[in-house]
Structure 1
Amino acid sequence: MKKIANITWITYPNFGTFLQAYALQQYIISLGYEDVVLDDSTIIDTHIDWKFRVKRWLWSLGKTYRRYANSQKKAQNLYDRFKEEHILVESNVEDVQRLNETYDCFVCGSDQIWNPFSLSNPKYSFFYADFARKKKISYAPSIGVSSMPSEFVDRFQTLIKGFSFLSAREKQGQEIMQKLSGKYVANVVDPTLLLDGKQWSKLLDIHKEIADEKYVLGYFLTPNPIYIEAAKTYAHKNGCKFKMFYTDKSYYSVADELITAGPIEFLQAIHDAKQLFTDSFHGSIFASIFNVQFITFKRFKNTMTGQNLRVENLLKIMDIEERLLSEDDVADIDKLGKINFEHVWNQITPYITKSKEYLIHALR
C-alpha cells in the first residue's frame, strides 16, 4: 500500500485550515492509501515581538481581555484535541532521508501555503516539499495574489519545477502557475468539498443538537463594525439571537452570545444556524455543505494582493455571486432571496468530480 505525506498548515489555529487538512487526508485514505500530515510546527513562525507583548500585558489588566484570553485557551485545547483525535500527523520531519525512504509521494496543499510573500522566510520552502526526492503533487494550494510579485518569480519557478502534477485552488493562481511552470495546471476545488454533508455530519454525532433555538451566526475574520451591525440587525429583525465565534476580543460587547470553538464546534454552530453572515471562504463553503442560508462580505479592499479572489471564485462557480456584498451593499440584504441549494450543487458538483479525478490520477 502506497504511503502518502501531505504538507499543509496544521499549527496555526484556524477553523478552515484544520478542516481542509482533515478533508484531504480523509479523501486520500478513502482511495486506499496510507496518509499522514507532516508536522509544520517547527516551520511556522510563532515569534511575538516585544511591542505586542507590551500591548498584551496592558490588555490583560482589563476584564474584556481576560475573558478573551480564557476563551482562546479553551479554543486551543479544542484544536489540539481535534488534531490528536482526527488527524494522523508525522511529527519527525527533521530527518529528510527517512521521509524519502518512508513515503512514496508528497502532496502539497491546500490553503495559502504558496502565497509568494511567505518566501521571504527561507523555512517556507518546506511547503513546496523542497526536500523530497519522490513524486510531488500539489492539490489546491492558493497563491493569494492576482499577479506574482517580480521579486519572487525566480524562487517560485525553482520550487514548483520538480512537481509531477500541479493544481491550484483559484483560476488566477492556475494561470500564474501555468505561465511560470510551462506545465498544465489543473483548477481544483478546496479539499473541504471532497467530502459531502453526510461525511462531515459524522463529526457532529457526539454533540447534542439544539434544534429549537433560532439564531443567526456571525463568523468574521476581520472585526468590521458595518458588517457586524448589519448581521445583528438582521437577526433581531427576524426574531433570532445573534451569536458570534469569539475570535476577536472586541466581539464581547456586540453579540448576544459568544461561542468558544474548535473545528467540531465550528461545524456544529454553522450546521444548526438559521443563517450565516461571514467574511470567510471556508465559512461560505460549510454553510453550503450544510445547506444553511448565508451572505458573504468582502473582507478586503480592492488591492493588488487579490485576497477576495477565493470567495469570488467560489461564489461564481456556485452561480450565487450576488451573495458577495461590500460595505456599500449592506442595505440590500433584505432584497436578497433564498439560496437554491439544489442549483448550487448542480453547478459545483462537476468541479468536484474533476478535482477527484485529478487527484486519483496523480496519486497512481
Structure 2
Amino acid sequence: MKIGVITFSNSKDNYGQMLQIYAMQCFLKKMGHECFLIRYTDSPKAKASFKWSKAITYLCRFPQYAIWYVQQKKERRQQKVYATSAQSSNILRRFDEFLRDNIEMTPKIYDETSIINNPPQADAYVCGSDQIWCGDWAYYLNFASENAIKIAYAPSMGGITNFSPEYEAQMKRLIHRLDFVGMREQSGVEVCKRLGRTDAVQVVDPTLLLDTKDYDKIRIPVATPKPYLFLYLLGNPIGYKTKYFYDYAASQGLDVVYVASQGKVDDYEKFPAQVGEWVELLANAEMVITNSFHCTVFSLIYHRRVVTVPLVGGYERMNTRINELLENAGLEDLILNKELEYYQQDDWDFSGFDMYKNSELKRTSDYFDKIIGSKSI
C-alpha cells in the first residue's frame, strides 16, 4: 500500500525530528508498504491558543515566567553574537542531505493552498509524530480524500489541553474523519476523548519502533576522545548551568562531547554533528546528559547511562512525555533531581525498558494491520 506521511521536516538542528521521520518510514517499509514523506511548509495562520479561563494559572506562575523572560532576553543578546557561527553549524549538520539520502519524499514542497488543490496521491495517510497538532490543518489530514485511510500516529499537542472555541471546533470536525487516533501523550488522548473520539489511545513515539540494527545503518564514524560524556542540550531552559555538567565530567575523568540546538547559547564549544554522527556519539558514550526526549529514547535503545534534565521556566508541560516514558520503563530515577554523583552506579537495568519497547512494537504493528486491512481501496 502507498502511504504518505506528513510531519515537521524543515528543522536544521533538531535531531529528534529527523530520526522520527526515518523511524516512521522504516517501520512502514518493514511492514511491506511503500512510504513517502509529504514535504510541507507551515502557514503562520491557524495556530492554537489558550483559553482566557487559564489566565489565573499564568498569573500564579508569573515569577517563573518572569525569570524565564529575563533569561531569554539575555540569551537573545548572546545569540546576536553567535548568529554567524550558529548558521555555519547548521550547514555542517547536513540535515537536507540526510533527508535526501535516507527518506523517500515528495519532489515538491506543499503549502496550505497547494496541498488542498493538488494533494499528493496515496492509499493511506499518516499524520505524526511530533508536536504538529497545534497548527496547520494539513497536519490533521484535511487534504486527504474521504476514501483514503487516515491515521494519526503519535501527534502531540505539546501538553496544551485548552484551545480557542474556533480552533477546537475545527479540530473536532477533522479528528472525526480519522480512521485511527493514537496520541503521543495521555493528555492528548484526554483532549480527543473530550472532543468525542472516545476510541483514542496512547501510542509510543515512532523512534521506539526500531532497534539498534536499524539505526546502525545510518551511523557515521566520529573520532572522539574516550571515555567521554555525551552532552546534548536543546535551547529550552533548565535549572542548571552548562558548567555543572562539565565539572561533573571532569570529576569522573571524562571528556565532554557537546552537541546542542541553535537555541542553546553558552561559551562552550559545540560539535555540529550530522544525524549519523549524533547517533554514533550517543551509542559510544560512557554517559549521556540531556534535556531532550529523543536523546533519552536513543540512550535507552542503546543501553547508555542517561540522566534527563527537566525543563523549567514555563516549559514544564513539555516534561510529560519524558516522564511517561521513564515511568512505563520503570526508570523514573533517571530524571535529574539529585546531585549527579547519585547516578554513577554501574548496574543500570534496561530489561524493563526492553520489555516495554517490545510490547509497544507489537501493539503498534497490530494497530496498523487492523486499520490498513479494515478498508478496501
Residue 336 of structure 2 corresponds to residue 317 of structure 1: no
Residue 375 of structure 2 corresponds to residue 357 of structure 1: no
| Cα shift at 1:59 | 6.2
Q: Name the CA distance, whole Å, in 1 between partners of 2:364 and 2:128.
A: 13
Q: Please point out which of 86, 93, 109 is paired with 1:68.
A: 86
| Cα shift at 1:211 | 7.5
Contact 1:128 1:159 survives alignment (8 Å): yes
Q: Name the CA distance, whole Å, in 2 between partners of 1:218 and 1:212.
A: 14
Contact 1:216 1:242 survives alignment (8 Å): yes
Contact 2:258 2:271 survives alignment (8 Å): yes
- Tell me which amino acid in the other structure corresponds to 2:272: T
| Cα shift at 1:223 | 5.6
Contact 2:232 2:289 survives alignment (8 Å): yes
> Which deviations, in whole Å up to 9, do the C-alpha atoms of 1:138-194 show, x marking residues without a partner?
111112125233533212211211001111111221122122133301211100011
Q: Please point out which of 182, 187, 191 is paired with 1:176.
A: 191
Contact 1:216 1:241 survives alignment (8 Å): yes
Residue 222 of structure 2 corresponds to residue 217 of structure 1: no
Q: Please point out which of 296, 310, 327 is paired with 2:308.
A: 296
Q: Name the CA distance, whole Å, in 2 between partners of 1:9 and 1:57.
A: 28
Aligned residues: 333
Counterpart residue number, 2:61: none
- Tell me which amino acid in the other structure corresponds to 1:229: K
Q: Secondary structure at the match of 2:270?
A: strand
- Tell me which amino acid in the other structure corresponds to 2:205: D
| Cα shift at 1:108 | 0.7
| Cα shift at 1:57 | 11
Contact 2:208 2:357 survives alignment (8 Å): no
Give % identity.
25
Contact 1:170 1:309 survives alignment (8 Å): yes
Contact 1:11 1:44 survives alignment (8 Å): no
Q: Which has the higher helix share?
A: 1
Q: Secondary structure at the match of 1:145?
A: coil
Contact 2:291 2:310 survives alignment (8 Å): yes
Q: Secondary structure at the match of 2:201?
A: strand
| Cα shift at 1:240 | 0.9
Q: Name the CA distance, whole Å, in 1 between partners of 2:322 and 2:225.
A: 31
Contact 1:65 1:249 survives alignment (8 Å): no
Contact 1:215 1:275 survives alignment (8 Å): yes
Counterpart residue number, 1:6: 5
Counterpart residue number, 1:52: none
Residue 155 of structure 2 corresponds to residue 141 of structure 1: yes
So what's the TM-score if we normalise by structure 2? 0.81
- Tell me which amino acid in the other structure corresponds to 1:284: T
Q: Name the CA distance, whole Å, in 2 between partners of 1:4 and 1:306.
A: 32
Contact 1:246 1:252 survives alignment (8 Å): no
Quick check: 232-241 or 150-159, which moved more? 150-159
Q: Secondary structure at the match of 1:166?
A: strand
Q: Name the CA distance, whole Å, in 1 between partners of 2:232 and 2:43.
A: 24
* Aligned alpha-carbon RMSD (Å): 2.6
Contact 2:222 2:277 survives alignment (8 Å): no
Residue 210 of structure 2 corresponds to residue 195 of structure 1: yes
Q: Taking structure 1 as reference, are residues 212 and 70 closer, same or farther at Cα in structure 2, changes over 3 Å only?
A: closer
Unaligned segments of structure 2, at least 5 residues: 46-74
Q: Secondary structure at the match of 2:119?
A: helix
- Tell me which amino acid in the other structure corresponds to 1:237: S
- Tell me which amino acid in the other structure corresponds to 1:10: S
- Tell me which amino acid in the other structure corresponds to 2:297: I
Structural mapping, 1:109-124, within 5 Å: 109-115=128-134, 118=135, 124=136
Q: Name the CA distance, whole Å, in 2 between partners of 1:109 and 1:353.
A: 19
Q: Name the CA distance, whole Å, in 1 between partners of 2:321 and 2:78.
A: 36
Residue 275 of structure 2 corresponds to residue 260 of structure 1: no
Q: Taking structure 1 as reference, are residues 319 and 70 closer, same or farther at Cα in structure 2, changes over 3 Å only?
A: same
Q: Name the CA distance, whole Å, in 1 between partners of 2:15 and 2:175.
A: 27
Q: Name the CA distance, whole Å, in 2 between partners of 1:24 and 1:59.
A: 33
| Cα shift at 1:58 | 9.7
| Cα shift at 1:266 | 1.6
Q: Please point out which of 179, 188, 213 is paired with 1:164.
A: 179
- Tell me which amino acid in the other structure corresponds to 2:230: L
> Which deviations, in whole Å up to 9, do the C-alpha atoms of 1:105-130 show, x marking residues without a partner?
11111011113xx3xxxxx0011110
> Which deviations, in whole Å up to 9, do the C-alpha atoms of 1:18-77 show, x marking residues without a partner?
110111011111111111111113x2559xxxxxxxx999966x5x443333222222xx
Q: Name the CA distance, whole Å, in 1 between partners of 2:229 and 2:96.
A: 27
Q: Secondary structure at the match of 1:136?
A: strand
Counterpart residue number, 1:89: 105
